[in-house]
Structure 1
Amino acid sequence: MEDLSSFPLELTGPDIPMVRFMNVRKTYGDFVVLDNLNLDVAPSELVTVIGPSGSGKTTVLRMLMTLEKINGGVIYVDGKPLTHMPKNGVLVPADAKYLRKARSSIGMCFQHFNLFPHMTALQNCMEGPVQVLGLSRQDARGRAEELLSLVGMIDKKDQHPARLSGGQQQRVAIARALAMRPKVMLFDEVTSALDPEVIGEVTNVIKDLVPKHKLTMLMVTHQMGFARDISDRICFFYAGKIEEQNSPDELFTNPQSKRTQQFLSAVKAAD
């Protein structure tokens, strides 16, 4: 078992990151997906992860959602351990009860929306707050209507997903995730299933989330234009590590790593 005595029980100090990966390792048998990953995401920062297939991008999100167990290190959210819990003065792997509570501060939007097909847009946004958070239906309805207004979907609140376009479904999915009042939002290829003309509307919705909800966001995408438009910082992953990270302008116009240069050239050629 890994010695966790050197990891803090919680993060303290003036500039605590909203998300911290500390020496995080993920393997499948002998295959190393993430190799001692260290990454901080500041409060209200939007960080986008790019890289070739198999570089560990989506695994980062799945670990934050506790859909994947890590094999080493610790992940912290809002200063407290996510993957582990304090016990007798040391960190131990988190049990199911601790995980349920810890991940309540994290929301996720997937590539394929995953809306409940038998529910209207409004009902989709109400279900979690009622069933999980224990809100009254009246309070949940008020919250859902407020968020559907935020994403420009209040006029479609009584429509079922089958009657909505892809861009409309994605905006409802964002509202549904926000209804749980997360501190951190994860986006996994949220524009890849959308037509090019509606990517802009989803981009604008996501950009509005930081000032209105003070959200910290971590995003995975293979669409470089989207990443450049929306990110505060971009991390290029290669072979389970962060090969290079910088502002969008710097990384796209002046990449320092040869691997980053090769990746961006290949993406540009494919476009």
Structure 2
Amino acid sequence: MEETETIIQMEDVHTPILKNISLQVKKGEIITLIGGSGAGKSSLLMLLNRLVDPDKGTIHFRGRDVRDYEIPKLRKSIGMVLQSSSLFEGTVADNLAFGPKLFQEWEENMGEELLAHVQLPASYLHREVETLSGGEQQRVAFARTLANRPDVLLLDEVTSAVDLKNVDLIEAFLLEIVPKNVKAIMMVTHDVKQARRLGDRTIFMENGKIVEMGPTEKLFTNPQTERLQYFLKE
């Protein structure tokens, strides 16, 4: 049986917040990260597309040290979506085209296809982003990131500020795009039920360290550490 491709590998990574982080991200998986506020979950994501660099340790993407990539190209391949949609003023089409135009990759027919991924009609291309609801803006933010054709998506509390309808739409979208459109997802969520619904593997963090990680259902049904047991009861 062929071994699943490793997309990201972190070995003994340290920052002022994170301590001794080692993990692998494999092709075709969604990894959910859980833990209390200040556990280091968002800090871990920021290392992967070089919003922050480690003081010690190595991070490899597709077998190469992330420091060997030009930062714009790395962030094109490892896309990030945040809790707030972070769209800029203008139309939906302006936002979708921004990244691909930097690399001369934008084609006019891409807009409709990208909106279809997030279940928005083509007519939204000409809408000003400020006229959209919060959930619609977040879906456009996903489409904008997908426009760069990333290999990996980093998601930081992306559904925490949207209504339940949009949560359901976004979750269905995430399950559909791996591995068809992206190779893997790392997703920080405060919602442990969401982590359980979406994750192939789950990482539990506390005080900048990985306390426990493993297949999601096993981790939730049979936690090995007292700290995770306590966290899941809260």
Q: TM-score range by the shorter chain?
A: over 0.9
Structure 1 residue 15: Cα displacement: 5.0
- Larger Cα Rg: Structure 1 or Structure 2? 1
Q: Deviations over 1:190-210 (max 9, x none)?
A: 011112332111111111111
Separation of aligned partners in 2, 1:54 and 1:244: 16
Which TM-score applies when normalising by structure 1?
A: 0.81
Structure 1 residue 253: Cα displacement: 2.1
> In structure 2, what is the equivalent of residue 133 of structure 1?
103
Q: Deviations over 1:121-174 (max 9, x none)?
A: 1221011111x21135xx1x2222211111111342222222212221111110
> In structure 1, what is the equivalent of residue 83 of structure 2?
111
| Larger relative contact order, structure 1 or 2 (CA cutoff 8 Å, min sep 6) | 2
The answer to whether the Cα contact below 8 Å between 1:25 and 1:71 also exists between their aligned partners in 2 is yes
- Say whether residues 1:247 and 2:215 are aligned partners: yes
The answer to whether the Cα contact below 8 Å between 1:122 and 1:145 also exists between their aligned partners in 2 is no
- Say whether residues 1:65 and 2:65 are aligned partners: no
- Say whether residues 1:196 and 2:164 are aligned partners: yes
The answer to whether the Cα contact below 8 Å between 2:150 and 2:182 also exists between their aligned partners in 1 is no
Which TM-score applies when normalising by structure 2?
A: 0.93
1:237 counterpart SS class:
strand
Moved over 4 A (4+): 13-16
Structure 1 residue 107: Cα displacement: 0.5
The answer to whether the Cα contact below 8 Å between 2:6 and 2:62 also exists between their aligned partners in 1 is yes
Runs of 5+ unmatched residues, structure 1: 1-12, 28-32, 86-96, 267-271
Q: Deviations over 1:47-68 (max 9, x none)?
A: 0111112211000111112111
Within-5 A mapping of 1:184-223: 184-223=152-191
Instruction: Give the root-mean-square deviation of aligned CA atoms.
Output: 1.8
Within-5 A mapping of 1:15-34: 15-27=4-16, 33-34=17-18
> In structure 1, what is the equivalent of residue 129 of structure 2?
161
- Residue identity opposite 1:249 in structure 2: E
Pick from 142, 149, 161: which aligns with 1:181?
Answer: 149
Q: Deviations over 1:33-81 (max 9, x none)?
A: 2112100010121101111122110001111121112100111111111
1:256 counterpart SS class:
coil
Pick from 70, 75, 80: which aligns with 2:59?
Answer: 75
The answer to whether the Cα contact below 8 Å between 1:144 and 1:176 also exists between their aligned partners in 2 is no
Pick from 72, 85, 91: which aligns with 1:120?
Answer: 91
- Residue identity opposite 2:63 in structure 1: G
The answer to whether the Cα contact below 8 Å between 1:171 and 1:205 also exists between their aligned partners in 2 is no
Structure 1 residue 16: Cα displacement: 4.4
**How many residues in Structure 1 have an aligned counterpart in Structure 2?**
232
> In structure 1, what is the equivalent of residue 226 of structure 2?
258
The answer to whether the Cα contact below 8 Å between 1:167 and 1:202 also exists between their aligned partners in 2 is no
> In structure 2, what is the equivalent of residue 54 of structure 1?
38
Identity %: 38
Separation of aligned partners in 2, 1:146 and 1:71: 41
CA gap of 1:80–1:14, structure 2 versus 1, over 3 A, is farther
Separation of aligned partners in 1, 2:23 and 2:169: 29
Separation of aligned partners in 1, 2:111 and 2:185: 21
- Say whether residues 1:148 and 2:105 are aligned partners: no
